[in-house]
Amino acid sequence: MKAKGFLAIVLHAHLPYVRHPELEWSLEELWLYEAITETYLPLLRIFDAFEREQIPCRLTMSITPTLGSMLQDQLLIERYLRHLDKMIDLCEKELERTRWQPEFYPLAQMYYQFYTEAKTDFCKRFSGDLVQAFAAFQDKGLVEIIASCATHGFLPLMDHAQAVDAQIAVGANWYREQFNRDPVGFWLPECGYALGVERSLQRHGIKYVITDTHGVLHSVPRPRYAVYAPVLHQVGVAFFGRDVESSKQVWSASEGYPGDFVYRDFYRDIGYDLDYDYVRPYLYSDYRGHTGIKYYRITGIEGEKLPYCPKVAREKAAEHAGNFMFNREKQVEYLAKHMDREPIIVAPYDAELFGHWWFEGPQWLDFLVRKIAFDQKTIKLITPGEYLERHRINQVVQPSVSSWGNNGYNEVWLDDSNEWIYRHLSVMAKEMVQLANIEAGDEIIKRALSAAARQVLLAQSSDWAFIMQTGTMVDYAVYRTNLHIQRFNLLKQQIMDGCIDLEFLETVESQDNLFPNLDYRVFRQASVNDKGVNHAWQLTSIVSQK
Amino acid sequence: MRDNLPPVPVKYGQSYLVSLVKNIHWLYVFWELAPEEIDLVGEGRMILRLFKGKEPIQQQIMADVTITDSFGSQYLYLAEPGQFYQVQLAVVNSREVVPLLSSNLVFTPFGKVSDQEDTKWASVDELYQEYSGCLTMDTVSSPELSYMSSYQLQRKSLYQPKVDLTVETELIIYGKVTPGAMVYVQGEPITVNEEGSFSLRYALSDGTLILPIKAVAPNGMQTQTTVPVISRETY
């Protein structure tokens, strides 16, 4: 029986570039270690199982260049393994401490296995290179990996078209280097779209992007199929819109699956619960923080928490996967009656939701893929790229300026907590475009120019403005923004003076070592003529009658 | 190493004016006037002038907001969603308004489901090839946005033409519709004569002008749309 519709699950894996060789320990590097252990390794394990068991799986995943670069960085790999050793050490102590506590001892055993398995899988099963591990699953057809911006810059708030182009160009080039193919899809950071972005996407060969619901729904003219089919911008780039129903079931803090009371409580961590001196050797600062070892379930909105029970949680994950699938079946059955083609339900999520924020998330995903494969015939998994291959004729519209940030536009990244950065980012981008016109007379100048370009890209990470707005680690975000502004300005001055401080250049290159092959000329003015746009519209005069 | 870095500047000593869209109704604007341009202000009053529209000849003044500093930022309210906007920093004196800087052009979110139902369908390959075939070595401007450098207003041309020649073009659109029907051009209602005829004139500059023209029957139930597409190139 032919499927009536499709489900495209898109996992966006991203972390900002955080690497501090100048420090012995960095609290912010912990973001990477947690994500590897709790999200990326579990995802790889389920892909591995799907491959071995020949479970039909078609998922879509973005891996940003900043995350990918960190995953392949030798210093960070060594530090990650050091972190795992500490966690295993802590787990051994926990096994000892909870030996006579029957409600917690099995959990201590679970964590011990969790961390020892992480080390084995990281080193042996996936050979220490998770990017290539994901690439292998792409080559085997389980996942379509899509590209993203160089440093996750928020494109709608870049006033220089060349800055937009550089973010996309560097991101697409990194993708080609890693995955040995041209990117088909592209993850717009924060699903942020503004007019003009499509031109850069098209120039770099991108065939589709994903926006939030209203990015497509508010298109002009009105999309005939709402978000259940892609729309085309007149330059040829397709836009897929996020489905609201499938989003809510997973993302909603109040109604979504992750909030179920039997799931593990993220906030009850032994880093806060146990004696300070006991946990201090395993913390990354003098302040209490998360270790990753958590013994309680959410239990309820208030009141005492009950011990976590993995078996019950796993059954719940299976139940939720079945529920999600059931809802998608009903959704597709309804949509298929009103559409003259199969609907596609696009369900994008941050990858780190699965496993890090929602511990049972990878299990849910595992169950979901299996259930879709064997328990029903109404829906099939697909990637947006494959859907475009099936349906190459689509409605031409102008999508709406939009993002998936709170309230749907740009205000998360532009409010009184972070508006100050844009003056500096704008001037940096403008000056980098000017610097890019220099023909470097020697290798040192070329390196300095590329280092300057790298500073611009790093300053543009949307993560800093986001962190400032959410008020979590504001000092660090401000520090990073200022650092890159300062480094850029000093490099610029030295370039203009024709006198490069080699020691400074080498320090900057070694500390901010992503994109080692970056060519500063990517900031040169793009060569795109206005004539191209609307050309398709020149061919026909459109008449419609109602 | 951090101690040897220059401090983050408060000002850059350059002139710039930048507009960033915050959401449907708010625009964030920041600016700085270089010292040599502050002198141009003199005794005049500085304003931020908000324009709606893409082409300078068609832009409408939406608001003038007085500013007192040659360096600062401001949020401006945007009454209409789904529009092009641009901001100018100008000096108002007793005789005239003198523009000093122009910001980049921005386009705001539509903010709602469109009531335009006309559909055009195309294949990915068709559009991709047609668009790629038009790439030439030229400006960076997007087809929707023309980013104006804040220096353009003051830049003097180095080329001195031997003969002065200026050519302008105007487009005349005229037609007829059922008497009593409404006609909208680019979404805006136009005047229709009693017998149903209408005409309008547009300044035509280089580039492509798309003019969706929609007629709505007197009973409001039927509509018909035609979209003339006009291109002008200058060689």
DSSP assignment of B13-75, as one string? SS-EEEEEE-SSSEEEEEEE--HHHHHHHTTSEEEEEEEESSSGGG-EEEEEEEE--SEEEEE
Which A residues in the span 339-398 are in contact with B, Cβ-Cβ below 8 Å?
388, 392-396
pLDDT of residue A378: 97
Contact A18, A28 (CB under 8 A): yes
**Residue B153 phi, psi (nearest 5):** -70, -25
Q: Read off the pLDDT band of B166 (50, 70, 90).
A: low
CATH number of A414-545: 1.20.1430.10
Q: Say how far apart CA A397 and CA A112 lie, in whole Å.
A: 53
* Contact yes or no for B30 and A422 at CB 8 A: yes
**Predicted TM-score of the model (pTM):** 0.84
pLDDT of residue B2: 54
Pair of tokens at residue A350: 């941050």
* Contact yes or no for A222 and B115 at CB 8 A: yes
**How many residues are there in chain A?**
546
The DSSP 8-state label assigned to residue A104 in this structure reads T
Nearest to A195 among B145, B207, B233 (CB): B145
* Contact yes or no for B18 and A426 at CB 8 A: yes
Pair of tokens at residue B32: 């700085």
Residue A416 sits at the vertex; the CA angle it makes with A415 and A422, to the nearest 5 degrees, is: 70
Contact A291, A283 (CB under 8 A): yes
B28 contact residues in A (CB cutoff 8 A): 414, 419, 422
Lowest mean pLDDT across A125-129, B176-180, B192-196: B192-196
H helices within A72-188, ranges in order?
74-97, 105-120, 130-139, 161-179
Q: Say how far apart CA A189 and CA A64 lie, in whole Å.
A: 9
Answer yes or no: same fold for A5-72+129-264+308-407 and A414-545.
no
Nearest to B123 among A196, A393, A543 (CB): A393
Each residue's pLDDT tens digit, A385-404: 999 999 999 999 999 999 99
| A363: helix, strand or coil | helix
The rounded mean pLDDT for chain B is 79
Q: Closest approach of chain B CAs to the CA of A402, in angstroms? A: 7
Cis amide prior to A221 (ω within 30 degrees):
yes
Chain A CA closest to residue B122: A393
Q: Say how far apart CA B83 and CA B54 lie, in whole Å.
A: 8
DSSP assignment of A178-212, as one string? HHSS--SEEE-GGG-B-TTHHHHHHHTT--EEEE-
Chain A CA closest to residue B211: A541
Residue B82 pLDDT > 70: yes
A428 touches chain B (CB under 8 A): no
Query: What ipTM was predicted for this assembly?
Result: 0.92
Q: Say how far apart CA A147 and CA A206 lie, in whole Å.
A: 9
3-state secondary structure A258-310: HHCCCCECCCCEHHHHCCHHHHHHHCCCCCCCCCCCECEECCCCCCCCCECCH
B116 touches chain A (CB under 8 A): yes
Give the up-direction half-sphere exposure of residue A402: CA atoms within 13 A in the CB hemisphere: 24
Contact A134, A497 (CB under 8 A): no
Q: Quote the crossing angle between the two packed helices A421-435 and A474-497, to the nearest 10°.
A: 30
pLDDT of residue A24: 85
Cross-strand pairs, B173: B200
Residue type at A190 in one-letter notation? E
CATH 3.20.110.10 given to domain A5-72+129-264+308-407: yes
Substitution target in A400, A493, A512 with the highest count of B β-carbons within 10 Å is A400
Nearest to B22 among A414, A487, A526 (CB): A414
B152 touches chain A (CB under 8 A): no
Burial of B214 (0-12, 13-18, 19+ CB in 10 A): buried
Residue A439 sits at the vertex; the CA angle it makes with A443 and A448, to the nearest 5 degrees, is: 45
Each residue's pLDDT tens digit, A522-531: 999 764 333 3
Name which of A545, A542, A533, A535 is nearest A203 in CA terms: A533
Mean pLDDT score, B86-100: 92
* Contact yes or no for A544 and B5 at CB 8 A: no
The DSSP 8-state label assigned to residue B137 in this structure reads S
H helices within A339-360, ranges in order?
none
Each residue's pLDDT tens digit, A10-32: 999 999 999 999 998 888 899 99
- Between A459 and B174, the higher pLDDT residue: A459
Give the up-direction half-sphere exposure of residue A356: CA atoms within 13 A in the CB hemisphere: 20
Substitution target in A542, A543, A545 with the highest count of B β-carbons within 10 Å is A542
* Contact yes or no for A489 and B9 at CB 8 A: yes
Each residue's pLDDT tens digit, A252-286: 877 899 999 999 999 999 999 999 999 999 999 89
Task: Give one word for B87, left, alpha or beta, with left for phi > 0 and alpha for psi -120 to 50.
Answer: beta
B132 contact residues in A (CB cutoff 8 A): 202, 236, 532
Residue B148 pLDDT > 70: no
Q: List the domain boundaries for chain A.
A: 5-72+129-264+308-407, 414-545
Lowest mean pLDDT across A123-127, A461-465, B68-72, B148-152: B148-152
A544 touches chain B (CB under 8 A): yes
